[in-house]
Amino acid sequence: MFQNNPILIQLKNKLQKKKFKVEGIVKSTAKGFGFLEVDFQTTYFIPPQNMKKVIHGDKIIGLIEINNNKEIIFPKKLIEPFLKKFIGSIYKKNNCICIQPIYPYVRNVYFYKYKTSIIRSWQDGDWIVAELTQHSLRDNNDFSVDILEFISEKDNPLSPWHVILSRYNLEKKSPMMNFLNVSPDNISSDNRIDLTCLDFITIDNCYTKDIDDALFVEEIGTNKLALTVAIADPTEYIPINTEIDNIAKKRIFTNYLPGLNISMLPKKLSEDICSLKPYVKRPVLACRIIIDNDGSIIMQKTKFFLAWIKSRGKLSYDNVSDWLEQLGNWKPYNNNIEKQILLLKKIYKIRNFWRKKNALIFKDRPEYRFHLSKKWEILNISIENRRIAHKIIEESMISANICAADFLDKKLGFGLYHTHIGFDSCNAKNAVKFLKKYNIFYTSEEIMTLSGFCRLKRSLDKLSNEYVNYRIRKFQSFGEISLFSKPHFSLGLTSYATWTSPIRKYSDMINHRLIKSIINKCSNITPPDNILLSHIHDRKRKNRMAVRDIEEWLYMKFFCSIKNDNKHYLADIVDISRGGIHARLINTGAFIFIPSSYIHNIRSEIICHPEYGVIYINNKIHHQVSDSIIVRLLFINNDTKKIIASLVN
**Secondary structure (DSSP) of 431-458:** HHHHHGGGT----HHHHTSHHHHHHHHH
Note whether 223 and 293 are within 8 A (CB): yes
Catalytic status, residue 204: yes
Q: From the candidates 204, 508, 549, 627, which is the catalytic residue?
A: 204
CA-based max dimension of the chain: 114
| Cα distance between residue 202 and residue 215, in whole Å | 6
Note whether 129 and 151 are within 8 A (CB): yes
Is beta strand 642-647 parallel, antiparallel or unpaired with respect to 591-595?
parallel
Note whether 304 and 518 are within 8 A (CB): yes
- What is the tally of helices (H) and strands (E) in the chain? 14, 31
Catalytic status, residue 210: yes
| Cα distance between residue 219 and residue 199, in whole Å | 13
Catalytic status, residue 461: no
Q: From the candidates 212, 245, 508, 627, which is the catalytic residue?
A: 212
Q: What is the H or E stretch that residue 98 is in? A: strand 96-101
Beta bridge partners of 93: 96
Q: From the candidates 317, 496, 555, 569, which is the catalytic residue?
A: 317
Q: What is the H or E stretch that residue 76 is in? A: strand 70-80
| Cα distance between residue 437 and residue 125, in whole Å | 57
Q: What angle do CA 291, 293, 297 make, to 5 degrees?
A: 25
Q: From the candidates 126, 210, 406, 549, which is the catalytic residue?
A: 210
Is beta strand 113-116 parallel, antiparallel or unpaired with respect to 127-134?
unpaired
Q: From the candidates 504, 506, 549, 627, which is the catalytic residue?
A: 504
Q: From the candidates 58, 199, 213, 549, which is the catalytic residue?
A: 213
The phi, psi pair for 411, rounded to 5°, reads -85, -35
Q: How many CB atoms lie within 10 A of CB 306?
A: 21
End-to-end CA distance of the chain: 64
Return the DSSP state at 5.
-
Beta strands in 168-253 (DSSP E): 193-194, 202-204, 213-220, 224-232
Catalytic status, residue 155: no
Q: Catalytic residue numbers?
A: 204, 210, 212-213, 317, 504
